């Protein structure tokens, strides 16, 4: 733990991934811990940070809702500037954190500050409101992007997403029967959460290694 970041994984990893949390869970929430430790076990360096509103929750004890997505962009850009990565940097996050990263990815990719974008459970639309898409900027995205998504994610299932117009720079890695946290129902799918975390981490490690060779 530094003053600003929570690190996992080998210091000499080829790639560092900057991960932001989702709307309701802090950077050290159980879900963020699981994702980070799985990636670390696959040889990836992970740096987690918190948006200002979440840090304020810690200080005040009051559970204020997150601000609108656009208001969190400065926090994300400040984290990118503050992080010292020895090699290529990938930005991303869980749910809302990945959405904010996707909103700044192209500008950072264009200037050579990042190598790609990773989204863990992208919130393509609010739950129960599939008509309110958050995909307009994803249609023209130029940064290499990997989205790891559960097939039954209520924020964007495989049946939903298959009909979207998305940039050809976006790869979606589907995890069978996974929900928004990629958690499957073992009795339905035969997969455990551990299986899906390992599969996600293996795919991210291979994908990020390929970015280093571009």
Model confidence over 114-165: pLDDT tens digits? 999 999 999 999 999 999 999 999 999 999 999 999 999 999 999 999 999 9
- Give percent of the chain above pLDDT 90: 88
Within 10 angstroms of residue 129's Cβ, the number of other Cβ atoms is 9
Distance (Å, whole) CA 156 – CA 205: 24
Q: What pLDDT score does 53 carry?
A: 94
At residue 143, φ and ψ (nearest 5 deg) are -70, 135
Q: Give the integer Cα–Cα distance in Å for 35 and 16.
A: 14
Tokens for 102, please give them: 């996707």
Q: Answer yes or no: pTM beyond 0.85.
A: yes
Asked whether residue 3 carries a pLDDT value surpassing 90, the answer given is no
pLDDT band, residue 64 (cuts 50/70/90): confident
Assign 86 a pLDDT band (cuts: 50, 70, 90): confident
> Does residue 133 sit in helix, strand or coil?
coil
In the structure, what pLDDT confidence band is assigned to residue 87 with cuts at 50, 70 and 90?
confident
pLDDT digit string (tens) for 23-39?
Answer: 989 999 999 999 999 99
Q: Which residue has the tokens 């551990």?
A: 194
Residue 113 has pLDDT above 50, yes or no: yes
Provide the mean pLDDT of the chain.
Answer: 95
Asked if 111 contacts 140 with a C-beta cutoff of 8 angstroms, the reply is no
Q: Is the pLDDT of residue 1 over 80?
A: no
Q: Is the pLDDT of residue 14 over 50?
A: yes
State pLDDT tens for residues 159-210.
999 999 999 999 999 999 999 999 999 999 999 999 999 999 999 999 999 9
Handedness of CA 209, 150, 96, 73 (dihedral sign): positive
Instruction: Give the pLDDT of residue 214.
Output: 66
Q: Say what the pLDDT of residue 61 is.
A: 84
């Amino acid at each position: 733990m530094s003053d600003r970041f929570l690190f996992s994984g080998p210091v000499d990893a080829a790639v560092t991934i900057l991960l932001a949390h989702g709307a309701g869970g802090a950077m050290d929430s159980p879900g963020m811990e699981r994702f980070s430790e799985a990636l670390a076990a696959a040889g990836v360096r992970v740096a987690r940070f918190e948006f200002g509103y979440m840090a304020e929750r810690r200080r005040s004890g009051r559970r204020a809702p997150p601000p609108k997505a656009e208001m969190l962009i400065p926090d994300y850009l400040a984290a990118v500037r503050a992080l010292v990565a020895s090699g290529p940097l990938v930005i991303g996050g869980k749910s809302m954190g990945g959405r904010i990263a996707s909103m700044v990815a192209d500008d950072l990719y264009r200037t050579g500050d990042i190598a790609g974008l990773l989204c863990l459970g992208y919130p393509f639309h609010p739950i129960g409101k599939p008509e309110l898409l958050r995909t307009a900027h994803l249609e023209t995205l130029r940064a290499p992007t990997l989205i790891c998504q559960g097939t039954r994610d209520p924020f964007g299932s495989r049946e939903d997403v298959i009909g979207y117009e998305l940039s050809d720079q976006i790869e979606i890695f589907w995890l069978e029967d996974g929900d928004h946290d990629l958690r499957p129902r073992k009795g339905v799918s035969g997969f455990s959460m551990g299986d899906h975390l390992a599969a996600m981490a293996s795919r991210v490690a291979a994908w990020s290694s390929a970015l280093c060779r571009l």
